[in-house]
Chains A and B, each alone.
Chain A
Amino acid sequence: MTLTMDWGLLLPALLPVAALALILVVEAIAPTARPVLVVLAGFGLVAAAAETIPGLVGDDDPRLTLCTPAPDGRCMWDGGALTSTLQLAILLSTLAVLALISVRRAGVIELVMLLASASGGVAVVAARDLGTWLITLELATLPVIALVAWRDRRAAAHGALTLLTTSLVSFGLLVLGTALWVTATGDPTLTGESLATAWAVPEQRTLAGLATVVLLAGLAFKLSAVPFHAWTPTTLTSGPLPISALLASSSKLAAIGALIVVLAPYDAVVDLSPGPHVVVAALVILTVASMLTGTVMALRQTEVVRLLAWSTVAQAGWILLPLTALTVAGRQAAAVYTLVYAVAGLVAFAAVRAIHGRRVEDGRELTAYTGLFRRDPLTGGALALALLVLAGLPPGVIGLVAKIVALRPAVSAGLWPVAVVAVVAAVLGIAVYVRWFAVLFGEPTIDAPARPAQRRASLGVALIGSAVLVVASALPQLLVGLVS
């Protein structure tokens, strides 16, 4: 069996691995050369990111590789615009997390884990067969779990344990889903053709639907969609802040990429009768539950990271919302929304980090942010912008555009009742973020936490992220157009 092999397309996934290997080698040779390692990791990520650019600009090229020969040709790697966008975002957000960890403190373990998870994420969004999909998804997940646990704190261990148990069960579900899929379609690829064939037979159709639902359940954990979200608040608050940022950005992007891969075959059957109601229903349940639970819970939080964690849950609902349409536009919309969310989330986490540094004992209560906008305009401004984007209020226009983007496919698919639920969630969401926003604009208090001495990296991430948000707010097409 011969495969086509376009190394250029695979480079985004390979380069981080190469950097990983190099780091291990260098570490073995020169254990003290840590800065070199960090540079290597950064370089690996940047180079990989650069490799995704052609996918964003070249439009006619199908960018498929790892294809078996015709007539039975199937490709295991699809590097189209949507994929490339997600890959770029995964790589850059990992880079941002690396910066948050800070150059001085990043140890070899962090570097290796980050690189591994980045390459896993990059690969999973391009995967078109179940084997690659399953493996790379785990590659994207497992190092993150380790990163959470790799931390000598009781709470961190607890958080890691929570994350681990959930992820183990989810893995079980993923494998079950895979098995069901193969049983239903007889095909290990995630393509419309195979699904369409199975759809013709009622028994197989049922099984394929069930398979997708189970896969969905397994993936929902990574997205922290309700009811697979329970790890989110615990882990995000107890783990190191940069890793929480990773979970909220890069990890989410990988998850949505993986989900898009699973749902893509449904293009072929969405207009058939009977349609894939099971999948739509499952998605709707996840969407509605996540939106409502997440916002309602976030509304009650006073600890900022916990608030962000619950808002992650809520945003998962928004990410899933456009997918309920089961259309190309819906998938693109989900990607765009995730992109916006990831940037805004990163900015928020970076700002929190810039305020608290590595000291968790300061108490990351909302009250500590009183008057931040006047006390510390840069951080406060970045945080405020991120919150506005998350809330979807101008001047964070991109947040609003993202909401429009997310609502559009659902509305077009006739799911306007879900859209009405989204309205409620959006308003509650505004209440959540405005609560924090209001604090930023309050009178500065005296007992605010002291500014950490070294926070250039965090601040830099926050500011670059803000810049992205500002530019995207002025010209949303730059972001929205990436995926199409």
Chain B
Amino acid sequence: MALIAMLVVPGAVGLWLMTGGRALDVATARVIALVAAVVGGAAAVVASAQRPVIDRAWIPDLGVRWHFEIDGISAPLVALTAVIGVLVVAHAWAEQPWLDASGGERGSAATYLGALLLVVTGAFAAFSARDAVLFFIAFEVVLVPMWVLIGRYGDPHSEAKRADASARFILYTAIGSTLMLVGILLLVWQAGTADFAELPAAAADLSLGQQTLIATLLTLGLAVKVPVFPLHTWLPAAHTTAPTAGSVLLAAVLLKLGTYGLVRLPLANVPDGFSRIAPVLAIAGVIGILWGGLICLVERDLKRLIAFSSVAHMGFVVLALASGTETGVQAALIGNIAHGVISALLFVIVGGLKHRWGSVDLAIVRPALREVSPRLGFALILGLAAGLGLPGLAGFWGEFVALVAPWNPAQHTGILRTCAVIAAVGAALAAAYSLRVARIVWVGDEVSADAPHRAADTRGLELAVVAVLGAAVVAIGVAPVIVWSVTADAVSALVGGAP
């Protein structure tokens, strides 16, 4: 019941808002969307706790079933999605992307909110799908609404950028997901089942060559979504252009689909094949860490900077996964969640700044946040600290365990240890760029009360959103056990007692 509510309520309301309810006025649409998000989110949380199962035939001829079930691996992600879903809808009170730069209306608020809800629904479905093909379909569900969010409600200043970013997003992701589809079909055909529960056993006797091929296709496809270097170039464009809520969803939910998929598909089903390509993945992840970190040192656009930092952070997650061990998967999962809340927090803040300032070009000198808007400043420094992996905040655990995991990997010890060593350098880069941002944006000279570019401090729902995310950052940082205890059993079942 909860599972159905979680999938149907936001989905149906979202669809209705995008089609029939487009003409709704802003106030009504917001309330409806928020109610839907809250109901869906609550249902998701309940479902994460109760673990109900839906399992019924959908397309028998393809062997695809409506099989939804939340297990330990997906529960934290579902909960994360639930929280983020409510927050992004609530954020519509703070930022109104349906208005253009001059305050005129450039789109329907209802459509915007509907798109948000649809993205959330897609994520719910993907995280709870227990059928490989169903997972793929759910994976695709988020594309169009996200495309609408970026292309239609993105940066009001540049139409060309919007078009470019949204096209990049959808095409890049589509190439990834279609490759993944080929991999899934190959896997499902060889194994004879699409059910996640039966797949690992069924795929166990595939030949190594087959496994490698399948793992390559799946990993390649999912790597786009993660994104893994060098398949990341859609991300900065999308993040820079998307409205705040879009960036938050993208970073906190959509990227997670990629890593979640990596855990669910290649790692769980074709472990031998996966471990053969793991070194490549690990190296790509590590290059991503350094690459993203280095670019962040010189990037001028704050939103792009955070996007590149996402590349770096996801590099850690990928590295952990590449180790192929239980520890690695645990690290990846908590790294996922942590990056979700941290980047969400940062994007809310930076989106807010962009909204206030008109641009987030770091080369433009503006009054320091610490001076003019202490709350926003505090949130920013919290986010940055978490981003650089400060212990006690969410980012630390994923990073630390992601360094431990490759030390004793399932295979390829030498390569993976080297990767871990290099990745540790990335952690220092993270400090360098995070504090670079802090030095430019957070601190600065004292400002007089009538200085230009004064940013109003955060208040109202924006403050609430920031507060919730900040609290989550601290909570996960202080007690990572809340995530690990949920995931532990599922992960050990999944990795199957690998060393």
Let me know if chains A and B touch directly in the complex, using CB atoms closer than 8 Å.
yes
Residues of A within 8 A of B (CB): 374, 377, 381, 388, 392-395, 397, 400-401, 403-405, 407-408, 411-412, 416, 419-420, 422-424, 426-427, 430-431, 434, 438, 441, 443, 475-477, 480-481, 484
Given known pairs A423-B179, A427-B174, the reply for A407 and B140 (CB within 8 Å) is no
User: B22 contacts A476, CB within 8 Å?
Assistant: no
30 contacts across the A-B interface (CB closer than 8 A): A374-B22, A374-B108, A388-B144, A392-B140, A393-B143, A394-B140, A395-B118, A400-B140, A401-B59, A403-B181, A404-B133, A404-B136, A404-B137, A404-B181, A407-B182, A408-B62, A408-B189, A411-B186, A422-B182, A423-B179, A426-B174, A427-B171, A430-B170, A430-B174, A441-B151, A475-B58, A477-B59, A477-B61, A480-B61, A481-B60
Instruction: Tell me, in angstroms, the Cα distance from A408 to B181 when the chains sit together.
Output: 9
Instruction: Tell me, in angstroms, the Cα distance from A426 to B189 when the chains sit together.
Output: 21
Given known pairs A420-B179, A423-B175, A484-B61, the reply for A438 and B137 (CB within 8 Å) is no
The interface residues of chain B lying within 8 Å CB-to-CB of A403 are 178, 181
B147 at the interface (CB under 8 A from A): yes
The interface residues of chain A lying within 8 Å CB-to-CB of B179 are 420, 423
Min CB–CB distance A19 → chain B (angstroms): 34
B488 at the interface (CB under 8 A from A): no
Q: Mark B15-53, 1 if CB is under 8 A from A, else 0.
A: 100010010000000000000000000000000000000
User: A426 contacts B178, CB within 8 Å?
Assistant: yes
Min CB–CB distance A416 → chain B (angstroms): 6
Given known pairs A427-B175, A441-B152, A443-B106, the reply for A394 and B137 (CB within 8 Å) is yes
Known pairs A392-B140, A407-B185, A416-B217 / 12 extra A-B pairs, C-beta < 8 Å: A394-B140, A395-B141, A401-B137, A404-B133, A404-B185, A408-B62, A420-B179, A422-B182, A423-B181, A438-B163, A477-B58, A477-B59
The interface residues of chain A lying within 8 Å CB-to-CB of B175 are 423-424, 427
Residue of A nearest to B118 (CB): A395
The interface residues of chain B lying within 8 Å CB-to-CB of A424 are 175
Instruction: Tell me, in angstroms, the Cα distance from A441 to B98 when the chains sit together.
Output: 13
- Cβ-defined partner of A377 (8 Å) among B22, B133, B137, B185: B22
Query: Which of A393, A411, A419, A475 neighbours the largest number of chain B CB atoms within 10 Å of its CB?
Result: A411
Instruction: Tell me, in angstroms, the Cα distance from A224 to B70 when the chains sit together.
Output: 46
The interface residues of chain A lying within 8 Å CB-to-CB of B217 are 416
User: B62 contacts A405, CB within 8 Å?
Assistant: yes
Query: Which of B118, B137, B166 neighbours the largest number of chain A CB atoms within 10 Å of its CB?
Result: B137
Query: Which of B141, B151, B170 neighbours the largest number of chain A CB atoms within 10 Å of its CB?
Result: B170
User: B141 contacts A394, CB within 8 Å?
Assistant: yes
The interface residues of chain B lying within 8 Å CB-to-CB of A416 are 182, 186, 213, 217
Min CB–CB distance A49 → chain B (angstroms): 23
Min CB–CB distance B103 → chain A (angstroms): 16
Instruction: Tell me, in angstroms, the Cα distance from A430 to B143 when the chains sit together.
Output: 11
Residues of B within 8 A of A (CB): 15, 19, 22, 57-62, 106, 108, 118, 122, 133, 136-137, 140-141, 143-144, 147-148, 151-152, 163, 166-167, 170-171, 174-175, 178-179, 181-182, 185-186, 189, 213, 217
Instruction: Tell me, in angstroms, the Cα distance from A422 to B62 when the chains sit together.
Output: 19
Instruction: Tell me, in angstroms, the Cα distance from A407 to B133 when the chains sit together.
Output: 12
Query: Which of B19, B62, B151 neighbours the largest number of chain A CB atoms within 10 Å of its CB?
Result: B62
User: B140 contacts A393, CB within 8 Å?
Assistant: yes
The interface residues of chain A lying within 8 Å CB-to-CB of B106 are 443
User: B59 contacts A480, CB within 8 Å?
Assistant: yes
User: A401 contacts B61, CB within 8 Å?
Assistant: no
- Cβ-defined partner of B185 (8 Å) among A388, A412, A443, A480: A412
User: A400 contacts B137, CB within 8 Å?
Assistant: yes
Main secondary structure of the interface of A (DSSP, over half): helix
User: B137 contacts A411, CB within 8 Å?
Assistant: no
User: B144 contacts A404, CB within 8 Å?
Assistant: no
The 9 closest A-B pairs by CB, nearest first: A394-B141, A423-B178, A411-B185, A412-B189, A427-B175, A419-B182, A480-B61, A477-B59, A427-B174
Min CB–CB distance B62 → chain A (angstroms): 7
Query: Which of B60, B174, B178, B179 neighbours the largest number of chain A CB atoms within 10 Å of its CB?
Result: B178
Instruction: Tell me, in angstroms, the Cα distance from A427 to B181 when the chains sit together.
Output: 13
Residue of B nearest to A477 (CB): B59
The interface residues of chain B lying within 8 Å CB-to-CB of A476 are 58-59, 62
Min CB–CB distance A301 → chain B (angstroms): 17
Instruction: Tell me, in angstroms, the Cα distance from A88 to B34 when the chains sit together.
Output: 45
Residue of B nearest to A474 (CB): B58
Given known pairs A411-B185, A427-B174, A434-B167, the reply for A477 and B140 (CB within 8 Å) is no
User: A401 contacts B152, CB within 8 Å?
Assistant: no
Min CB–CB distance B499 → chain A (angstroms): 32
Instruction: Tell me, in angstroms, the Cα distance from A422 to B60 when the chains sit together.
Output: 24
Residue of B nearest to A411 (CB): B185
The interface residues of chain A lying within 8 Å CB-to-CB of B147 are 434
The interface residues of chain A lying within 8 Å CB-to-CB of B60 are 477, 481
Min CB–CB distance B171 → chain A (angstroms): 5
User: A394 contacts B122, CB within 8 Å?
Assistant: yes
User: A480 contacts B148, CB within 8 Å?
Assistant: no
The interface residues of chain B lying within 8 Å CB-to-CB of A430 are 170-171, 174
Min CB–CB distance A353 → chain B (angstroms): 22
Instruction: Tell me, in angstroms, the Cα distance from A397 to B148 when the chains sit together.
Output: 17
- Cβ-defined partner of A481 (8 Å) among B61, B137, B141, B213: B61
Instruction: Tell me, in angstroms, the Cα distance from A441 to B167 when the chains sit together.
Output: 14
Instruction: Tell me, in angstroms, the Cα distance from A484 to B59 when the chains sit together.
Output: 12
User: A407 contacts B171, CB within 8 Å?
Assistant: no
The interface residues of chain B lying within 8 Å CB-to-CB of A422 are 178, 182
The interface residues of chain A lying within 8 Å CB-to-CB of B151 are 438, 441
Instruction: Tell me, in angstroms, the Cα distance from A477 to B174 when the chains sit together.
Output: 24
Instruction: Tell me, in angstroms, the Cα distance from A68 to B15 when the chains sit together.
Output: 56
Residue of A nearest to B172 (CB): A427
Instruction: Tell me, in angstroms, the Cα distance from A476 to B59 when the chains sit together.
Output: 6
Residue of A nearest to B136 (CB): A404
The interface residues of chain B lying within 8 Å CB-to-CB of A427 are 171, 174-175, 178
User: B167 contacts A431, CB within 8 Å?
Assistant: yes
Min CB–CB distance B122 → chain A (angstroms): 7
The interface residues of chain B lying within 8 Å CB-to-CB of A431 are 167, 171
Instruction: Tell me, in angstroms, the Cα distance from A78 to B302 when the chains sit together.
Output: 66
The interface residues of chain B lying within 8 Å CB-to-CB of A388 are 144
The interface residues of chain A lying within 8 Å CB-to-CB of B178 are 403, 422-423, 426-427
Min CB–CB distance B479 → chain A (angstroms): 37
Instruction: Tell me, in angstroms, the Cα distance from A6 to B185 when the chains sit together.
Output: 41
Instruction: Tell me, in angstroms, the Cα distance from A248 to B185 when the chains sit together.
Output: 29
Min CB–CB distance B22 → chain A (angstroms): 7
Residue of B nearest to A388 (CB): B144
Min CB–CB distance B166 → chain A (angstroms): 8
Instruction: Tell me, in angstroms, the Cα distance from A481 to B61 when the chains sit together.
Output: 6
Instruction: Tell me, in angstroms, the Cα distance from A394 to B163 when the chains sit together.
Output: 20
